[in-house]
Amino acid sequence: MKKFFRLFAALTLCASFLTSCGDGFKTTPNGLKYKFLETNKDAQQVQMNDVLVGTCTLKLNDSVLRSVTTPDRILMASENLFKGDLPEGLLMMHIGDKAIFVVEADSVAALGMQLPPFYKAGTGMKLYYEIHLTDIITQEEMNEERKNYMENMEQMHEAEKETLAQYVSEKGIKASPDDDGLYIAVNKKGNGPKVEIGRNVAINYTGRLLDGRVFDTSIESVAKENNIYDSNRPYEPLSYRVGEMSLIRGWEKGVINQPAGSKLTLVIPSALAYGPQDLGIIPPNSPLVFDIEIVSVK
């Protein structure tokens, strides 16, 4: 009887300890650990393929890996890739909810996600996703947005074709657009070996916007004339092995099969340049003009 009361007292003390020191997390049948800090169950709930808008802090144990502090598009509700995966928790959320989800770091690393150097496999490290959901973009809304974007891009590209044709005419550039809208004007035909995949090339270049502003060059005198000189970089021909360096498509397409010694002017539509990327000196959806000299092909 004394042993029974001793055991009962121990279990009671243990239960009391867990209640007072518990972390408040629950676990789904699939093994995802979660805790809701704020709930709003009367609001719209996340559905499969919805895009979540809100803030998110991602931690590996106690170390912050990423933090989105201003509401933005942060995640998409998709299929689980392993037991205890995050999407199961996302589908539990409503607009206005705040929650923390705990995912096994080893499971994520096994999918190829790059984790920081201090991650140690097999040590039970956890990824903590703290999410405040402020809005939901449904799959239907995303499809409509994508449709409108494609229509706007098509209209922009059509207008751009006219702009480039006018530019080429005004500048007296002797070239016609290819199927992708790229103009390749051969100002001087070289007689050396041709640019081909796998060959080493050296190319001098000057890149301009349509309004004439020079944004980059390999020629020191041109950089100084256009107030973009940088004493920390070398001014010399760009050397690379064709096919092994990531260059804009318009450049790669323009120089291929051109012989060494050639001088070209490439008028490149934005779709073959940097597209909608904002690079500062190169605004989004900017056509580019490159004056190129193929110095050598080996």
For the chain, domain boundaries: 23-141, 167-297
pTM of the model: 0.64
Q: Which residues make beta-bridge pairs with 210?
A: none
Active site residue 82: no
Question: Which residue among 101, 119, 128, 205 is the active-site one?
Answer: 205
Residue 125: what residue type? M
**What is the biggest distance separating any 2 CA atoms in the chain, rounded to whole angstroms?**
106
pLDDT value at residue 113: 86
Does domain 23-141 bear CATH number 3.40.630.10?
no
Q: What dotted CATH number matches 167-297?
A: 3.10.50.40
Q: Closest by alpha carbon to 203, among 260, 256, 248?
A: 260
Active site residue 101: no
pLDDT, tens digit, 9 for 90 and up, residues 48-64: 999 999 999 999 999 99
* Residues 168/183, Cβ–Cβ less than 8 Å: yes
Question: Which residue among 183, 274, 282, 292 is the active-site one?
Answer: 274
d(CA 266, CA 78) in angstroms, rounded, equals 43
* Residues 82/111, Cβ–Cβ less than 8 Å: yes
d(CA 26, CA 21) in angstroms, rounded, equals 14
Q: How confident is the model at residue 198 (pLDDT cuts 50, 70, 90)?
A: very high
Active site residue 205: yes
SS (HEC) of 207-218? EEECCCCEEEEC
| Same CATH fold assignment for domains 23-141 and 167-297 | yes
Residue 52: what residue type? L
Q: How confident is the model at residue 153 (pLDDT cuts 50, 70, 90)?
A: confident
Q: How confident is the model at residue 5 (pLDDT cuts 50, 70, 90)?
A: very low
Question: Which residue among 85, 106, 216, 291 is the active-site one?
Answer: 216
pLDDT value at residue 4: 36
Active site residue 128: no
Active site residue 42: no
For the record, the structure tokens of 26 come out as 């629950």
Active site residue 216: yes
